[in-house]
Amino acid sequence: MLSKGIQGKHNITVTEEITAKSVRSGELPVLATPAMIALAERTAYESVSSYLEEGEGTVGTLINIKHLAPTPIGMTVECTSVLREIDGRRLVFDITVRDEKETIGAGVHERFVIKNERFMEKALSKKNI
């Protein structure tokens, strides 16, 4: 059962493939903001997935995270999420991202609990319009 306070944690190492230069969100070989956001979503998603009922999932609907400092290739980045609010199907997480030296990102991420099959039916119905 979902409850406030559920925490998640995930670590990655910055590689060339997830730099701003490689994903074309900038010119420099540092952790790309889109990669940091993907890490935040993954951390939040994985933290609650085992608490969901069969056939349920979550989808990200809002992300408001500041990218505060650069992280070069080779450094480890750790993301933590804390489920701070449950409002029906809406889940709100506090997100903190740190490298080996400092906090590099912080903010809020929102996800909604969905029925996977119904969600995919709705998505695929767009092809028939």
Tens digit of pLDDT for each residue in 35-64? 999 999 999 999 999 999 999 999 999 999
Percent of the chain with pLDDT over 70: 99
CATH code assigned to 7-128: 3.10.129.10
CA 111 to chain centre: 9
CA nearest neighbour of 65 among 104, 113, 102, 26? 104
Confidence of residue 128 (pLDDT cuts 50, 70, 90): confident
Q: Is the pLDDT of residue 8 over 80?
A: yes
Percent of the chain with pLDDT over 90: 97
Global confidence as pTM? 0.93
Q: Helix (H, G, I), strand (E, B), or coil: what is residue 10?
A: strand
Q: What is the DSSP string of 27-74?
A: SSSBB-HHHHHHHHHHHHHHHHHTTSPTTEEEEEEEEEEEE-S--BTT
Tens digit of pLDDT for each residue in 14-43? 999 999 999 999 999 999 999 999 999 999
CA nearest neighbour of 49 among 121, 117, 116? 116
Residue 76: predicted pLDDT: 98
Q: Which residue would you say has higher pLDDT here, 129 or 100?
A: 100
Domain boundary assignment for the chain? 7-128
Residue 129: predicted pLDDT: 64
Residue 52: predicted pLDDT: 97
